[in-house]
Chain A
Amino acid sequence: MKKTLAVAALMSVAFAGAAQARDQIRIVGSSTVFPFATAVAEEFGKTTSFKTPVIESTGSGGGLKLFCSGVGEQHPDITNASRRIKKSEVETCAKNGVAEVTEVKIGFDGIVLSNSNASDQIDLTKEQIFLALAKIVPSKDGKSLVDNFYSTWSEIDPSLPNVKIEVLGPPPTSGTRDAFTELVLEEACESFPVIADLEKSNKDKFKAVCAGVREDGGYVEAGENDNLIVQKLEANKDAFGIFGFSFLDQNGDKLQGSLISGVAPTFEAISDGSYPVSRSLYFYVKNAHVGTIPGIQEYLSEFTAEKAWGDEGYLADRGLIPMSAAEREAVRNAAANLAPLSM
């Protein structure tokens, strides 16, 4: 009898405060934006009377899928994305009743190729990275396409070090990998005449060649965990790693970023756009939920405040690269008015 009572008491404690309307913002989306969104959410929870938003790290694609699944409190209010929403996703949203969506661009993120600072810093062009990592590359005479035959960096260019090509990077499910493919590999491949010709004759093969990454050990998929890549680079001086700028920023005493076309991945270079491998980060707000779920507008103003995303804001401390002051001003106004996105 005593035991039954104890169990009943426990259960009633567990289910206390049940079944009431949601009074907490729910955010899903990109793992790249996650560290920034969580920082804002925590500050928001501490400085306002609203509850701290719950943020899930689902990846950009997964987040938009959840976001676009409908209107109502069981669906998330905001989704983070490390790329822009696609037209097809806007259409899915509209089909499910999510008609008005506000887009907020929050800043930039650089993708770096880096190695242990016990080795030499190297300077690469996008073409050289393509030759090192692509699955299929132009042959020596440049007339045909062959499986990647480069095994050391110096085979690509004699000025590069004579070490084995070994690059640790994210798997295809990662947004960082998507961006790296798009910004480096796909851009570089067009500069090889034999691949550029392919674009006219065989579009599918062209795409496959440009996005294909070698699988013979030159490129190692190290999982979604960037900290793991950092630790592996420390242990292996000859290896290189691909990850977001914030991890290089935190580990500057152990790692160095490689120069891309002569530009080092620094805060300033990414911010002014001279570092070539950077992308924009966004979040999207469901306008229909503003007013229903408390605090969304206040969350927006916290995120777009200078103390958060400004040049010296707390997000910059975490590795977010701010936009220019004029662009920030424009986005802030659009966000305050909940100007719906049109594509």
Chain B
Amino acid sequence: MTDMASLMEDRAAAKVISDKMQKPVDWDNPKIARNIKKRYAAERRFKMYGLSAIGIALLVLCVLAGSIGSKGYTAFFQTFVQLEIHFDPAVIDPDGTGDPAVIGRANFDGLVKRALQEKFPDVTARRDKRNLYGIVSGGASYDLRERVLENPSLIGQTRKVWLISGDDFDMLNKGYIDADVDESNRRLNDQEIGWYNTLVSEGVVEKHFHSRFFTSGDSREPELAGIWGAAVGSFYTLLVTLTLSFPIGVLAAIYLEEFAPKNRFTAIVEVNINNLAAVPSIVFGLLGLEVYLNVMHLPRSAPVVGGLTLALMTLPTIIIASRAAIKAVPPSIRQAALGLGASPVQTVTHHVLPLAMPGILTGTIIGMAQALGETAPLLMIGMVAFIVDVPGGALDPATVLPVQIYLWADSPERAFVEKTSAAIMVLLAFLVLMNGFAVYLRKKFERKW
């Protein structure tokens, strides 16, 4: 009987509405006009809120990118000083052997120092001489050695050579050192600034593109430090992470989504996967330290351990994204395949997986991007370290891009400030590239039905 009663009620309500409907709306009624005005205003306000949210996000992004960019772009250029170097055979190869081993051991630093002495012959005091040699970086002698080893005919000649300058002079040339403050309060004294002005007036100070920044490993000399070692370390680490977490993650997702029975056990597994995705990354670092280093005795600071640890962290992300992608494949596709006689494995590998691939790949790349920016778990396994040599494999000691940023940010030398910002730009460029790749893959594999 209650059904009957509710039906009657509905009818009554419908009648009231239709009665109202029959009466034409009095648009001139001030009450209705006000109401309409209010609704339009609410509409506009809502749009404004949305727009201002986007505006604030863009503004913050611009401020961030602007501050990093304006501080960091100078790191891509380096001050060079042109000096007249006499490639003295008595210093480089006294016996005229032409043996690269002999040339390699020669005192090229002495050649640079001699050239500086000739430029400023009136500098004699020991302390002043030391300051004078600071104009040119300690790394300049290695450049000279390379040059001579490449072209032994240079020996005996006098050439004008652009040499990389020391970090303090680089900072002065880039305008980061204020020459007007009291002498005792700056890194360079009046005499050194005098030398700089002389060199500038002779036109032998120039800023060149700093290719070394992209080709060398870390260094304690800011002008010699480069990002390449960390970039290679990041590459090996992510390679290990990807080769491990992608197959395992996708297989786990397929099993859970397509084959697993729905029972208490799978429910527990599911809850745990979701929980793992929210575990702080440092916990995975502790796990990596205990399992990979203390039990399995894998080498410390190696990308393989970093990769294994980050794979643990990335797995839940990949599984969750893959399951969502597999779930989004319409059931009709599966039913059609099964109906035409395909086995469940064929259904999955031939039909479901290709269709879910764009989503799976997007999830994977987001997981990898997250792993690329991670430092906390790597602290525990010794990848936060000063490593000069560019790693040659996944078992060599290495560091990664975000760790390099952290280490440079913590260095006292003023010139590392711009290096830090430049390294952040490189990391951001990598992230943009990876995300761009994700978008490309999605577009490529996407199918409409």
Contact = CB atoms under 8 A, between A and B. Distances in A.
A134 B13 CA distance: 74
B317 interface: no
Given A11-B243, A51-B389, A57-B385, A31 B410 contact: yes
A253 B184 CA distance: 8
Contacts of A246: 412
B385 A56 contact: yes
Contacts of A51: 389
Given A18-B393, A74-B293, A253-B177, A319 B388 contact: no
Given A45-B388, A55-B385, A253-B185, A247 B412 contact: yes
A57 B384 contact: yes
Contacts of B21: none
B113 interface: no
Interface size class of B (residues with CB under 8 A): 35 or more
Interface stretch (B50-58, B79-87, B249-257, B394-402): B394-402
A117 B185 contact: yes
B441 interface: no
B412 A24 contact: no
Given A51-B389, A55-B386, A226 B130 contact: no
B287 interface: no
B288 to A, nearest CB: 15
B37 interface: no
Nearest to B415: A250
A252 interface: yes
A57 B127 CA distance: 33
Nearest to B221: A42
Nearest to B126: A312
A37 B220 CA distance: 10
B230 to A, nearest CB: 14
A241 B77 CA distance: 32
A16 B393 contact: yes
A5 interface: no
Interface string B402-438: 0000010111111001000000000000000000000
B410 A226 contact: yes
B186 A250 contact: no
A24 B142 CA distance: 22
A52 interface: yes
A278 B203 CA distance: 45
Interface in B282-320: 293, 297, 299-301, 303-304
B239 A54 contact: no
B395 A54 contact: no
A117 B182 CA distance: 11
Contact of B388 (A11, A41, A57, A225): A41
Contact of A17 (B186, B221, B301, B395): B395
A54 B301 contact: yes
Given A17-B392, A17-B395, A253 B410 contact: no
Contact of A227 (B177, B301, B382, B410): B410
Contacts of B409: 225, 227
Interface SS, A side: mixed
Contacts of A249: 412
Given A38-B220, A253-B177, A10 B239 contact: yes
Given A15-B393, A51-B389, A227-B417, A252 B184 contact: yes
B278 interface: no
Contacts of B384: 56-57
B357 to A, nearest CB: 14
B332 to A, nearest CB: 30
B422 to A, nearest CB: 15
B412 A318 contact: yes
Q: Which of B127, B293, B412 has the most CB of A within 10 A?
A: B412
B375 to A, nearest CB: 12
A125 interface: no
Contacts of B303: 14
A35 B393 contact: no
Interface in B145-195: 177-178, 181, 184-187
A205 B269 CA distance: 50
A43 to B, nearest CB: 9
A256 B412 contact: no
Given A56-B385, A253-B186, A253-B187, A42 B410 contact: no
Interface string A1-41: 00000010011011111110010101010010011011101
A224 interface: yes
A119 interface: no
B91 interface: no
A251 interface: yes
A69 to B, nearest CB: 9
A166 to B, nearest CB: 23
B410 A224 contact: yes
Interface of B: 126-127, 130, 142, 177-178, 181, 184-187, 219-221, 236, 239-240, 243, 293, 297, 299-301, 303-304, 382, 384-389, 392-397, 407, 409-414, 417
6 closest Cβ pairs, A-B complex: A52-B388, A14-B394, A56-B385, A55-B386, A253-B186, A38-B386
7 contacts: A13-B393, A17-B393, A39-B220, A74-B297, A227-B417, A246-B412, A253-B177
